[in-house]
Amino acid sequence: MLHLVAAGSLACLVLALLVRRLRPHAFGISERAFIVSVVVFHLLVTVGLLAGTPAG
Amino acid sequence: MIPTAVVAAPTTALMLARLGLLAALHVVPSDYSPVRHAVSDYAVGRTRRLAATMTWIGAAAWAGLAGTVAVALPGWEHRASATLWLIVLAAVFVALPHLPTDLEGERRTLVGTLHLLAAVA
């Protein structure tokens, strides 16, 4: 699920960078969704490694 | 052999701290909107110290994750490359506070362009 959020938000923020009319409406939120999804994913990786189970 | 918990526990704490600081940036008074402005914009203006702190905590988190991967996954075939790229990512995050972005509407500068390249990287 997180990978879908990350991929989708990345696509949206790139599109917003390329289409200037979209930037004020879409870039900020999609950038934040991307950052949060990436950090949460890696947080889950460290928690999983801490718990002693390999990350999926 | 370093126990995984020795590196994974502080890395977890750093990642949680980074998320908390990202949230704090959106709570403290600023001139920025989460819809209209990039996260990088918080590094310019009255939120610059909080943004720099968040970025450096992020650098430490990525370095910690590099250490965690190196210690916890000895049999993983991609351990070396993953560790290397996480170290590179940490280095980019160390540099970012020294490369403030150009705000929307401002003239593009060399530093702002370097920020964009670092952000993409």
Could you give the CA distance from residue B98 to residue B94 in angstroms, rounded to a whole number? 8
Q: Say whether pLDDT at B115 is over 90.
A: no
Q: What digits encode the pLDDT tens for the residues B37-84?
A: 889 889 888 999 999 999 999 999 999 999 999 999 989 999 999 999
Q: What digits encode the pLDDT tens for the residues A11-56?
A: 998 888 888 888 888 889 999 999 999 999 999 999 998 887 544 4
Q: What is the reported pTM? A: 0.84
The ipTM, to two decimals, is 0.80
pLDDT value of residue B22:
94
Cβ pairs bridging A and B (under 8 Å) = 59
Note whether B19 contacts A40, CB cutoff 8 Å: yes
Could you give the CA distance from residue A6 to residue A33 in angstroms, rounded to a whole number? 7
Neighbours of B120 (CB within 10 A): 9
- Most A-contacting residue of B2, B6, B14, B19 (CB-CB within 10 A), to test interface: B19
Q: Say whether pLDDT at B1 is over 80.
A: no
Nearest by CB: A46 against B8, B22, B36: B8
Could you give the CA distance from residue B21 to residue B24 in angstroms, rounded to a whole number? 5
pLDDT value of residue A56:
42
CA atoms in the 13 A half-sphere facing the CB of B67: 19
Structure tokens of B80? 């070396």
